[in-house]
A and B are shown apart, each in its own frame.
Chain A
Amino acid sequence: MLDMFNVYLPIAEMQFNALILVAIGFSVGVLGGFFGVGGAWVVTPALNIFGFPMAYAIGTDLAHIFGKSIVATAKHRKMGNVDMKLGFMSIVGSVIGVEIGAQNVMWLTKLGIAGPVVRYLYMFLLFGLGIYMLYDYATKDKRAAAQAAKVAEAARAGLAPPVRKSWNLPPMIHFPASGITISFWTVSGVFLFTGWLSGLLGVGGGFIRMPALIYLIGCPTAIAVGTDLFSVLFSGAYGCFTYGIKGRVEIIAAILMLIGASIGAQIGVTAVKYIRGYGIRLLFAIMIILAGSSVALKQFNLTTAAAWLVMCAALGMCVVIMAKLWAGFKKEHAEKAAQAGKGGA
């Protein structure tokens, strides 16, 4: 019955179900808008499961990521979640880092150890980041109480409140949108490092940059999400063009995915409005641990199971995000109605 949705893809020279492409785009759009990532780690295995030719998978994915990032970044900007200055710095640092990482992969390939090194590093990173973020979430109240106690103690003793230690090597740069002042070297080093990691692992790097913006640079979570998407926009445009030149973009498939992704991205971005920073971090931690489990399955040659796991995790997370959005929207609506009622009375 679903054959009626089949469309002809002129570049791949095959029939493919348009509904599948729109659905994959939609779910990755929700995740991308909410977490500030491109989502190639979901799209490529999902396309693989449904028999999309792999020669076009990455290029087509990057093309739709570019279009989707425009939608999501525009909306995040409206919400004040994009730090342009930080975003531009991240682009420059990341491009350089990516190329160094790519060179390192070539060197590892010559040594014949690229495959296992990249896979184990990828798993370590996904599990490590996920577990750290879960720990951070679990201990946030305890840390807040300890900090409040320190401030209260300092006030009783008539001293200034304790200042957080940071590395202040000049020149210092102020980022008004994020409300932080930080050493140029720290920012450049962090973006060079995250870019290097994404080049080494062969991934877009959104899932590395987003936590780095929070934990290493000190951005509020929503700004980390928006700023990361701003960087993804540029890497997506670059990827779309270069893969296009190489003939690896199936344009009809990319447009269909973009339609789904753009709608999904609007939902994902709007959900950021209703969920507090730590809530986003918690969901992100769960998502990357599941993605890490999928990579682990691949390590044991369970490729199909790995692809299904990451796809089901993405769909499940979409449902959670949409449910949170709906609950937040209803609550806001009820509050507005109550205020209007009070005003009327």
Chain B
Amino acid sequence: MKHYLVLILNFFLLTASSTLVWGAAEKAEALEKKIGNLDKLSGLNYFFASWYNDNMWVYALMVTVIMGAVGLLIALVTDVLLKMIGMEVHKIEHHE
């Protein structure tokens, strides 16, 4: 328990001042833009562009979730494919 308290105290000392600096930091500017001619788009393009115009927070959330989901899906599929050709991986020994 004492060990953890020391750890937390040390961490607080190390981070307190820099967190204040972080809070005051100037952030990068947003791109103030709306996509014109939504009527010309269809399917996925329309879907993404309309959310981009309507609510940037939802768009950002969507992008993050899609990237994670596509990443996971491809990881699973390629893992199966590599296993099929005999390139599966297991725990390795670390040689320098």
Contact = CB atoms under 8 A, between A and B. Distances in A.
Interface of A: 8, 10-11, 13, 55, 63-64, 66-71, 74-75, 78-81, 92, 95-97, 99-100, 102-103, 106, 170-171, 184-185, 188, 192, 220-223, 237, 240-249, 251-252, 254-255, 258-259, 262-263, 266, 269-270, 272-273, 276-278, 329, 333
B14 A8 contact: no
B68 A222 contact: no
B92 A70 contact: no
A262 B71 contact: yes
Given A70-B75, A247-B31, A221 B94 contact: yes
Contacts of A278: 96
B61 A96 contact: no
21 contacts: A10-B48, A69-B71, A71-B72, A79-B91, A79-B92, A80-B92, A95-B22, A96-B19, A96-B22, A99-B18, A100-B18, A106-B26, A184-B7, A192-B18, A221-B94, A244-B62, A248-B31, A255-B66, A277-B94, A329-B86, A329-B87
A276 B95 contact: yes
Interface centre among B52, B74, B87 (most CB of A within 10 A): B74
A63 to B, nearest CB: 5
Given A10-B52, A252-B45, 13 more contacts: A81-B92, A99-B25, A222-B94, A241-B64, A244-B59, A245-B30, A245-B56, A246-B28, A246-B56, A248-B30, A248-B31, A251-B63, A255-B66
Interface range for B: 35 or more
Contacts of B24: 103
Contact of B79 (A192, A237, A266): A266
A134 to B, nearest CB: 16
Given A99-B25, A252-B48, A263-B74, A10 B35 contact: yes
B70 interface: yes
Contacts of B10: 171, 184-185, 188
Contact of A188 (B11, B26, B28, B86): B11
A131 to B, nearest CB: 20
Contacts of A241: 60-61, 63-64
A184 B4 CA distance: 12
Contacts of A254: 63, 67
Contacts of A248: 30-31
Contact of A70 (B18, B72, B95): B72
Contact of B6 (A78, A95, A171, A244): A171
The 10 closest A-B pairs by CB, nearest first: A244-B60, A67-B71, A262-B74, A70-B71, A99-B22, A277-B96, A220-B94, A10-B45, A67-B67, A246-B30
Interface of B: 3, 6-7, 10-11, 14-15, 18-19, 21-22, 24-33, 35-36, 41, 44-46, 48-49, 52, 56-57, 59-64, 66-68, 70-72, 74-75, 78-79, 82, 86-87, 89-92, 94-96
Contacts of B74: 67, 71, 258-259, 262-263
B16 to A, nearest CB: 10
Nearest to B86: A333
A78 B90 contact: yes
Nearest to A179: B94
B49 A262 contact: no
Contacts of A185: 10
B30 to A, nearest CB: 4
A67 B68 contact: yes
A101 to B, nearest CB: 10
Contacts of B75: 70-71, 74-75, 262, 266
A263 B29 CA distance: 33
Interface centre among A10, A63, A277 (most CB of B within 10 A): A10
A240 B94 contact: no
